[in-house]
Amino acid sequence: MLRGRTAIVTGSTSGIGRGIAEALARDGCNVVLNGMHSPESLRQQIQHLESQSSAGVLYHNADLSDAEHCEALVRDAQQHFGSVDILVNNAGIQHVAPIEQFAPEQWNRILAVNLSAAFHTVRIALPFMRQQGWGRIINIASVHGLVASIHKAAYVTAKHGLVGLTKVIALEVATENITCNAICPGFVLTPLIEHQLLTRVTEGAVDLEEARSELLKEKQPSGQFVTTEQIAALTLFLCGEQSASINGAALPIDGGWTAQ
């Protein structure tokens, strides 16, 4: 379906982004990877993606907290592959603390990576999409773009902002063959969540399985983690022509979290 298209996926060397990049490559899409990983792990990922299809793979080490790096990521992808058709803003970082203990530098960095980076990549990519008359922008937000949790001031603020940005972009491209949507996952067993689980194990004198069960019980009625494969499948659907009328949506994939 996407053969010959080019997709940028930020934060795609692990977790949700990696799963999305793999799904796009299998569908024939050229993929631009971005993220922090060891050279050997990155080499293996690129080899794996190239083995999935004949599509091209490019890695770009942009620091998404820097506006100029965000611009270079998009421009270099356009120059290398000749188009930027799909932009998946997935990269995200987290810090947990009560507001009065929340370090300002953590606040600034989380907003830069989780929100401002999407603004910068979109503003550079959108003219390229308009030139070719087609585009898909998918922002990986979170249930925390729809509801809040304690001790996550910067993350919740950034993700709510990302949902708002998604709606503005969707309105601005509404008469064009371009869409912009947000996917809002609940708990996914990514390195970020694994870190939170280990913290629970350390602080609560529980084993890892009990920590997982307690975390899910608090928020996610399904009692199951959302999988990267499920999020990747939704991303592919939003890239297809059958979803052309879905624009400006914030789509929960959260095991019932936001239904409560």
* Catalytically active residues, by annotation: 155
Give the integer Cα–Cα distance in Å for 62 and 80.
15
Please state, in angstroms and rounded to a whole number, the distance separating the CA atoms of residues 125 and 123.
6
CA dist list (Å): 79 to 6, 32, 175, 192:
11, 12, 27, 33
Neighbouring CB atoms inside 10 A of 41's CB total 11
**Helical (H) or strand (E) element with 179:** strand 178-185
- CA-closest candidate to residue 142, choices 183, 99, 177: 183
Torsion of CA 26, 32, 37, 43, to 10 degrees: 60
Q: What is the largest CA-CA distance in the chain?
A: 57
Beta-sheet strand order (sheet of 135-140) = 57-60, 30-34, 6-9, 86-89, 135-140, 178-185, 250-253
Gap between the Cα atoms of 163 and 146, Å rounded: 8
3-state secondary structure of 86: strand
